[in-house]
Amino acid sequence: MALIVQKYGGTSVGSIERIEAVADKVKGWRDQGHEVVVVVSDMSGETNRLVELAKAIQDSPVPRELDVLLSTGEQVTIALLSMALNKRHCPARSFTGHQVHIRTDSAHNKARIVDIDNKRIRQDLDQGRVVVVAGFQGIDEEGNITTLGRGGSDTSAVALAAALKADECQIYTDVDGVYTTDPRVVPEARRLERITFEEMMEMASLGSKVLQIRSVEFAGKYNVPLRVMSSFEEGEGTLITYEEEGMEEALISGIAFNRDEAKLTIIGVPDQPGVASKILSPIGKANIEVDMIIQNMGADGTTTDFTFTMHRNDYEKALAILEQIKQELGAREVSGDNKIVKISLVGVGMRSHAGIAGTMFEVLANEGINIRMISTSEIKISVVVDEKYLELGVRALHTAFGLENKPI
Amino acid sequence: MALIVQKYGGTSVGSIERIEAVADKVKGWRDQGHEVVVVVSDMSGETNRLVELAKAIQDSPVPRELDVLLSTGEQVTIALLSMALNKRHCPARSFTGHQVHIRTDSAHNKARIVDIDNKRIRQDLDQGRVVVVAGFQGIDEEGNITTLGRGGSDTSAVALAAALKADECQIYTDVDGVYTTDPRVVPEARRLERITFEEMMEMASLGSKVLQIRSVEFAGKYNVPLRVMSSFEEGEGTLITYEEEGMEEALISGIAFNRDEAKLTIIGVPDQPGVASKILSPIGKANIEVDMIIQNMGADGTTTDFTFTMHRNDYEKALAILEQIKQELGAREVSGDNKIVKISLVGVGMRSHAGIAGTMFEVLANEGINIRMISTSEIKISVVVDEKYLELGVRALHTAFGLENKPI
């Protein structure tokens, strides 16, 4: 018998039929003898309906009151799911964030969980009940209702799992696990049985939008085994844990990619201390998030070339800022490209194996793919290539590293 | 400067436009220097929407979970009204029943308020804020969410007014006060400036459905001055208090009537102890509410005739039960009439003035109206007459007792 925290998102509880299906699933786990705590989001579309009501009054409503409003969404779902469970003779009780004391800071609309009192939940579990908790919400020290911001239900589930010392936190989504890469690009992509927190964070931040990064970070911090599963299909999903003995001995766990990248280069900047900051500060102030950064000496030895990547949507804005900076710094030229993509190999196995980067570059060269930028970390190698090479590059790497086969 | 508790019902907050209008009204009171606590219902239609969701799962959902679901209705309204107030630079904060500790018993869906902790509200009032509280809801001793049942928002407002020792509790509705009788029947009907709790209870229970009886009872018990006002028009409304020196010295305050009455008589019942109970017990068991009851000796002196009134909807059911009882008791006959109405004079002035009944009967006789039954209490005289005489009777009495003129 295990204690399991399950989280079902908005699509999984988007209608009465779906809620009934979730109730079947939850009852199944309980019938196997497990203790189950369920965290749910609001029914899909409900947040938008509530936001529309608020916006009819004011474009930027008071954050405190917006939280009071939005938190009703999950409260509707917990009540309906508990009804559906009780109908199945599966005793269940619903709780708001307030009722189970999910304490957060006071940053309305984007609060962070500080503490959870597990007594009330423990008490109901001990009486054999399924406990259904509203995700995404809590209360601050003064008892004001707070919300964790969109997608915060994953974090609620992980925090509850940590507070209850649960054996596993299962996140139910519309995919059946984490894949070696996007199956729409590589049909042979394989579902991973396990992956480490670190790898998952790299995969998530690189565009495999299965889980909220914050919840993965949280799960890693409190060492909560996290499992991504499908609400709609049977299956084991993907378990996210710390590296363990006997874990898959793969060099590479997966290939992530970002489609909508762009890069800008400012060429011939007179080399002097503080150049990087003079370029990046105005970019940051304009709320443009910069990803990869490369600085090279220019051919003449007295100037430097500075390149960075950003989301394609920010390209025009960043370009205008750089043209301005070019004048101020007396640089020669600004050039850019908004038709690039980033491909990344991710794997904890890289740590102990040299030569991965070499293999990667060779595979891409054999396909005639020109590498425009390179960036590496301990468990990741990223390259920037022309947009048109994305599928070709990902498929070639997937095959070259044998990701379609389960490692022995 | 006074402390005022205001309650706005579902129609008054039924749309964003209406909520904005309520915000204007509330701000007006605060600008006059008053401290204001506002209690609101859910936006009209919202309870039905939520009940539909629940019924899609189960016809009789678990009461505890139904309360979790329904209590979201008012939570939406308090947030929206607080936003509308803040938009008007009128500082306001919303609170759920849980947040201001409206403690109830555990009778889900029809809970009764046990206690209110006024500290949190007092604190916000002291900081110059308007406090917006969700009506109709509370929490029980274990922290479970409860609801007071439909219409319970009036009771929430009165209970808050009592807990805060408010100067007045204003109930905003779609009528501008309590009238001497229904203006649709008597166009000269006059709005009462004041009425006593006792009179209001008689008026309310007799069909002037302006206020929930329970809230009037509650206000009387805790001596909270209650004022019925219109959400849509300006005006003083009607103040409901205890009898005071200098109050209107009217004999009669108003004329109430019930349209949908019916009566049944069982004739020639052999007179023996326990007859009344043998007749009324099966009626009660069938959930039929009996109003007036009269028992007469029959002409022969050995049998008795037994008559009672009920709601017209229960007539057929009650008739069938009486036919059965007739056999068992060896009575002679059952006769009935489902085309009757009840007209009642209500007034605390009756207590000290004899002859009101005589005048009433005379007025009706002069109009050729036959009285079928009579029932009296300390501050009320009710007569049953044929349905067709309702308007004629009410108008004649209204004129005869001079209700269209304000008493001097």
- Which pLDDT tens digit goes with each residue over A74-118? 999 999 999 999 999 999 999 999 999 999 999 999 999 999 989
| 8 Å CB contact of B72 and A72 | yes
Pairing relation of β-strands B254-270 and B303-311?
antiparallel
Take residue B222 and report the two structure tokens written for it.
């805790």
| 8 Å CB contact of A83 and B50 | no
A268 part of a folded domain: yes
Partners of B87 on chain A (C-beta within 8 Å) are 57-58
B201 part of a folded domain: no
Task: Give the integer Cα–Cα distance in Å for B161 and B226.
Answer: 9
**CATH code, domain carrying A88:** 3.40.1160.10
Name the minimum distance, in Å, from the CA of A29 to any CA of chain B.
21
pLDDT at B248: 54
What value, to the nearest 5°, has the Cα angle with vertex A195 and ends A191 and A196? 165
Question: Residue A380, SS3?
Answer: strand
Of A16, A53, A68, the CB nearest to B16: A53
Domain count, chain A: 2
Q: Is pLDDT of B343 > 90?
A: yes
Residue-wise pLDDT tens digits, B82-138: 999 999 999 999 999 999 999 999 999 999 999 998 999 999 999 999 999 999 999
Structural domain for A278, as ranges: 255-400
A232 part of a folded domain: no
| 8 Å CB contact of A54 and B83 | yes
| 8 Å CB contact of B20 and A57 | yes
pLDDT at B150: 59
CB B147 within 8 A of CB B153: no
A71 part of a folded domain: yes
Q: Give the residue among B393, B386, B365, B388 at the shortest CA–CA distance from B263.
A: B386
E strand or H helix that includes residue A155: helix A153-163
Residue-wise pLDDT tens digits, B152-195: 899 999 999 999 999 999 999 888 899 999 999 999 999 999 99
| 8 Å CB contact of B57 and A94 | no
Of A115, A139, A173, the last residue of a domain is: A173
**CATH code, domain carrying B342:** 3.30.2130.10
- Write b or e for each residue in B150-175: b if 16 or more Cβ atoms lie within 10 A of its Cβ, otherwise e: ebbbbbbbbbbbbbbebebbbbbbeb
Of A139, A154, A173, the last residue of a domain is: A173
Q: Count other C-beta atoms under 10 Å from residue B319's C-beta.
A: 16
| Long-range contacts of the stretch B375-381 (C-beta < 8 A, 24+) | B375/B292, B375/B294, B377/B202, B378/B350, B378/B351, B379/B198, B379/B199, B379/B202, B379/B346, B379/B347, B379/B348, B379/B350, B379/B351, B380/B202, B380/B344, B380/B345, B380/B346, B380/B350, B381/B344, B381/B345, B381/B350, B381/B356, B381/B357
Query: B10 and B151, same structural domain?
Result: yes
Residues of B with CB under 8 A from a CB of A: 16, 19-20, 50, 53-54, 56-58, 61-62, 64-66, 68-69, 71-72, 75-76, 78-80, 82-84, 86-87, 93-94, 96, 98-99, 120, 143, 145
Residue-wise pLDDT tens digits, A6-23: 999 889 999 999 999 999
Partners of A56 on chain B (C-beta within 8 Å) are 16
Of A54, A66, A82, the CB nearest to B62: A82
A202 part of a folded domain: no
Name the minimum distance, in Å, from the CA of A317 to any CA of chain B.
33
Query: B281 and B158, same structural domain?
Result: no
Partners of B83 on chain A (C-beta within 8 Å) are 54, 57-58, 61-62, 65-66, 69
Pairing relation of β-strands A226-230 and A168-173?
parallel
pLDDT at A211: 79
Take residue A332 and report the two structure tokens written for it.
């020669």
Of B16, B62, B75, the CB nearest to A86: B62
DSSP string across B191-243: B-SEEEHHHHHHHHHTT-TTS-HHHHHHHHHTT--EEEEESSS-S--EEEE--
Partners of B59 on chain A (C-beta within 8 Å) are none
Q: Is A163 left (phi over 0), alpha (psi -120 to 50) or beta?
A: alpha
Average pLDDT, rounded, for chain B: 91
| 8 Å CB contact of B62 and A50 | no
Q: Is pLDDT of A223 > 70?
A: yes
Of B173, B194, B225, the last residue of a domain is: B173
Burial of A381 (0-12, 13-18, 19+ CB in 10 A): buried
Residues of A with CB under 8 A from a CB of B: 16, 19-20, 50, 53-54, 56-58, 61-62, 64-66, 68-69, 71-72, 75-76, 78-80, 82-84, 86-87, 93-94, 96, 98-99, 120, 143, 145
DSSP state of A371: P
Partners of B72 on chain A (C-beta within 8 Å) are 72, 75-76
A197 part of a folded domain: no
Query: B260 and B168, same structural domain?
Result: no
Partners of A69 on chain B (C-beta within 8 Å) are 75-76, 79-80, 83
E strand or H helix that includes residue A310: strand A303-311
CB B126 within 8 A of CB B91: no
Query: A165 and A28, same structural domain?
Result: yes
Name the minimum distance, in Å, from the CA of B72 to any CA of chain A.
5
